[in-house]
Structure 1
Amino acid sequence: MRGKGSIACGAAVAGAIAAFAASTVTAAATPPCVGRDLTGTFAAVPGSAGAGSISYNLRLRNRSSRTCFVSGLPRLRLVDRHGRALPTHVRPSHPGALTAVRVVVRPGGYTAATARFSPDVPGPGEGGYGPCEPKSYRARVTVPPGGGIVVVPLIPATPVCERGGMTLSVLIAGRNGPPHG
């Protein structure tokens, strides 16, 4: 009796180890998403405007046929209607938090982040009349850790005051970034 129990226990442990090893290999084999894998938008969050600022949702969809992952804070560069770079100064909404979280994005799946900025309150040196900065029509997004650039439209196009200053969350799974706060 004792021998059969030991064999069954040993088989269960071996099975658990094999399953763990397989999942570790699968996770390690998932490549990072690169710009060409993704498409997306950077759109105003309905009802988020207030106190001179607004939230925009950066939504990225995996358009490739392979599963990939993202992790951390995307890099953004705002551009005008002709593709020229505009001032852009991104700060993390929660410095040091969740930057190492790995988000797996299956084909057709989404990852998202939330930005908060002022479209109409000028910062120091931006003057008091007219728009604080030129309108941003698109953003060039570099997604960590894979790199490459995906260009996404701003919906609607908008100035980003304070020399393109904004706070941005890390990327999370799903169509919408985290609530900004």
Structure 2
Amino acid sequence: MTTDIERFCVKFLARPETNIDEAKFIEIFHEWIRLHKLEGTLIDVADYRHVPNGPGIMLITHDVNYAMDWANGEFGLYAQRKLGEGETHKDRILGLAKATATFGALLESDSRVAGNLSLEGGKFYYMSNDRLKVPNTEEAFTAIKPDLEAVAAELYPGKTVSITRKENDIRDRLTVVVEVENSVDIGSLA
């Protein structure tokens, strides 16, 4: 049953025109902690730029870890849900997607990166972080797909959405691509 799935991630990719010095995120995230720029308890900033295809610069919070991530060679805003509200899996996905969009819009508007960072809101990855409850199988994809369809209907009202399982190694996490045909401003999802 999908209602008890709690551990998962979403990732919104940076648009190709993004050209940024990632070290700027360290200063920005430390300032966000100091000024309480986001809801919840902001804890720390971690620099993993030395890890190939790794999480890059992370902002650790009580509920979510955010990262300017390079996994699979794709740069983007990654959010890993640890805790959070929502009675159903669908509610929790929607909550994380909106929180990540809020984070992304705030980041894009920061004067230190404005004009150099652009995140695509019309496509995101959903990744299971619980291989026991959501293994990387067609059956698990079929089980969670209705929740992703319901989330997509709320995030992209009136748009045609494709929801596909990403082909990857069976040992990797189940990854699903949720995508609309046209580009979407990430701020509009918040």
Instruction: Give TM-score scaled by structure 2 length.
Output: 0.27
Q: Which one has a larger percent helix, Structure 1 or Structure 2?
A: 2
**Higher RCO, 1 vs 2 (CA within 8 Å, ≥6 residues apart):** 1
Greater gyration radius: 1
Instruction: Give TM-score scaled by structure 1 length.
Output: 0.28
Q: Which one has a larger percent strand, Structure 1 or Structure 2?
A: 1
